[in-house]
Structure 1
Amino acid sequence: MNSKLPGHVDIPRLRQGKVGGFFWSTYVSCPNPDEAGEDFLGATWRVRDTLEQIDISRLLIEKYPETFTLSLTADDVKNAVVNGKIASLLGVEGGHQLGNSIAALRQYHALGVRYVTLTHTCHNAFADSGGFLPGIIPLHHGLSPLGLKLIDEMNRLGVLIDLSHTSDDTARQALKYSKSPVIWSHSSSRTVHDHPRNVPDDILDLIGRGPDKTDAVVMVNFAAGFIAEPGNATVAAVADHVDHIAKVAGKEHVGIGSDFDGIEEVPVGLEDVSKYPALIAELYRRGWTQYELAGLAGANLLRILSGAERVAHELQAARTPPVVDLYDQRTDIPRGARVEL
């Protein structure tokens, strides 16, 4: 595979960019609200579409075994890099893709999914989205009761909680409620550039490893509209976001989330995955050490993944039961029905 594909990602450019691993985002768009309905009951076929996305991701990973290897744990990622492979982790980019079902989460996990974004640009049965532009009307004012249960099961399984796309209230509540570390898979700094998809400083202040803080990593998005005013998105502007998140939350809590092949307009100098070294060089010029840059490039995320695995092991060792709560708006089961294990 030597030809350059359309978009931002292909094997030659991954190698040129020194990429050691990345998330394959199994993304299905939010349903039309008229189809989904007020209670989100009309678009559960999003589960089917997500399964197809997982399937195609795994088929591609299997098709190029000399390049990719499916990675399920932090140790898998390290082993892939040592063996010259590109670690491939799977994620689901939106709680609407669960079809209102915590049971679906377990099945995604069994297929290799290791993060779930609580929302995409739409609200769902579990949590409020931040939308894409200001003005989205809150539904749950953060997490719903079922959303809290979803986090319980994500913690028990070791599935990373991703807070990109969520409302600020959802993010604050999830940070305080989760027993496991969390991520923002592709978000930047709202102080550096005021965009609702970016993370404000008051939430960055909640991140850390001390008392009343939650370990997390904010993985910076390269979407030009998230980075700067039109025409001003550059490598240096992206580095400004990295620097600011590091200043507020600490250098241990920032990573690279690019969103390549999920965005249309990119910064000058960061046009595709081959250009990652340009960002590393810019930060090195600003005084980042090789150890801090290693954290940014992947070690910080691996710490979070290891932390989630540790919490899952502890919960499972304590025989914490699986969460079997059902969505109370379902019409195909009697109201108040429960599953007991």
Structure 2
Amino acid sequence: MCLAEAKIWPVDTMMIWKIEYRSTKKFWSAYVPCGAAQLNAVQLSLEQIDVIRRLAEMNAQHLTLVTTVKDLIETHREGKIASLIGVEGGHSLGNSLGVLRTFYGLGARYLTLTHACDTSWAVCSLGETNNTEGTAPGLSEFGKAVVRELNRLGMLVDLSHVSTRTMRAALQTTRAPVIFSHSAARALCNSTRNVPDDVLRNLAKNGGVAMIPFYTYFITCNNTATIKDVIAHINHIRKVAGIDHVGIGAGFDGINFTPVGLEDVSRYPQLLATLLEDPMWSEEDIKKLAGLNLLRVFAKVEQVRDEWQRAAVLPVEKISPPENSACVYGVS
């Protein structure tokens, strides 16, 4: 669906095993379950990326695989859906920056640092409730190297799913804006999957964007919610971080409860029309929410990449020891 008034594609993000909606464009997330961590997560992620690329090729009349802001805008002008690849979960890297660079070379343009499981270098949101966070830093030295390498490559750092300590550590480490691809305001729903106000304020300083999910448990912390509850989160993040730092994350597939009034993508016009009933919201504000904020972040990430290329910043070579060295060749 195209929002002609905003001249922005509302997003429809699909994982091969899980479909998620993101604002402004299609992100196809190469997601693999946490059970694959330290097993065949890298292989499965590569296979997901392969399927995404073939899917775009098979539907070339509608989809174009893009890797840059320029290509995204041109694809939209052609009336096609600009499709980008993301990797949702740092466990997909297998503790290898070489794998991260390979993902980038295959077209991946964001990495969610964790999914619903810790890695050896970053703590997930569940770590705040199951005591795995403890006294561990939000990011290990290798975790900080992952963030810096994402900056060097020009790949979006996604902080949805990570613990608060990891959010703060990543914001201190990154030199480019970050995203929360599908996280709401913790002040309105006290879930560790949501973003605290102090982090939202730092996100504004960073220049990033928090994109609101439509999963009721992240909106009202129970299985019922309405479109007005979602708007409350949008307005809260706007109030705390500013209009330039809020977007729509949705996440339609992969969730089993949706707010009343936001059952599927056909309801996007109702969401935006309801916001426009509030004098605080202008058409320019709606354009930012619907996608321009994310495009700005993506463009800034590319700018940092270009600056680092001109400065001849070299790839990071840091290594993270495997968790099970008995199963790894060349490690004793």
TM-score of the superposed pair, with normalisation by structure 1: 0.86
Deviation at 1:263, TM superposition (A): 1.3
- State whether residues 132 and 197 of structure 1, in contact with CA within 8 Å, keep that contact through their aligned partners in structure 2: no
1:306 equivalenced with 2:302 (yes/no): no
Match among 181, 187, 200 for residue 183 of structure 2: 187
Code of the residue aligned with 1:276 in structure 2: it is Y
| 8 Å Cα contact 1:222/1:258 also seen in 2 | yes
Assess if the C-alpha contact under 8 Å between 2:13 and 2:26 holds in 1. no
**Alignment correspondent of 2:85:** 90
Q: Report how far residue 206 of structure 1 moved.
A: 0.8
In structure 2, C-alpha distance between the alignment counterparts of 1:178 and 1:9, rounded to whole Å: 25
Equivalent residue runs for 1:106-255 within 5 Å? 106-131=101-126, 134-138=129-133, 140-208=136-204, 213-230=205-222, 232-255=224-247
Residue in structure 2 matched with residue 292 of structure 1 by the alignment? 285
How many residues align structurally?
308
SS in 2 for 1:244: helix
TM-score by length of 2: 0.88
Q: Which residue of 2 aligns with 1:319?
A: 312
- What amino acid does structure 2 have at the position aligned with 1:245? I
Q: Give the direction of change, closer, same or farther, for the CA distance of 1:144–1:20 in structure 2 (3 Å limit).
A: closer
Given that 1:143 and 1:173 are in contact with CA atoms closer than 8 Å, whether structure 2 keeps it comes out as: yes
Deviation at 1:238, TM superposition (A): 0.5
Unaligned runs of 5+ in 2: 1-11, 15-20
Alignment-derived partner of residue 264 in structure 2: 272
**Which has the higher mean CA deviation after the structures are superposed, 79-88 or 178-187?**
79-88
Supply the distance in 2 between the matched residues of 1:142 and 1:132 (Cα, whole angstroms). Answer: 10
Change in 2 beyond 3 A, CA 1:231/1:166 = closer
* Partner Cα distance (2:297, 2:273) in 1: 25
Report SS of the residue matched to 1:206: helix
> Is the partner of 1:123 in helix, strand or coil?
coil
User: What SS does the corresponding residue of 2:210 show, helix, strand or coil?
Assistant: strand
Cα RMSD, aligned residues only = 2.0
Matched-pair contact (CA < 8 Å) for 2:183–2:213: yes
Percent of pairs identical after alignment? 44
Corresponding letter in the other structure for 2:178: V
Work out the CA distance in 2 between the residues paired with 1:63 and 1:83. 18
Q: Please, which moves more after superposition, 314-323 or 271-280? A: 271-280
- 1:5 aligned partner: none
Q: Could you tell me whether the CA contact under 8 Å between 1:94 and 1:120 is conserved in 2?
A: yes
Q: Which runs of 5+ in 1 are unaligned?
A: 1-7, 11-16, 37-41, 336-341
CA distance in 2, matches of 1:55, 1:198: 31
4+ runs deviating over 2 angstroms: 132-136, 229-232, 328-335
Distance 1:172 1:290 in 2: 33
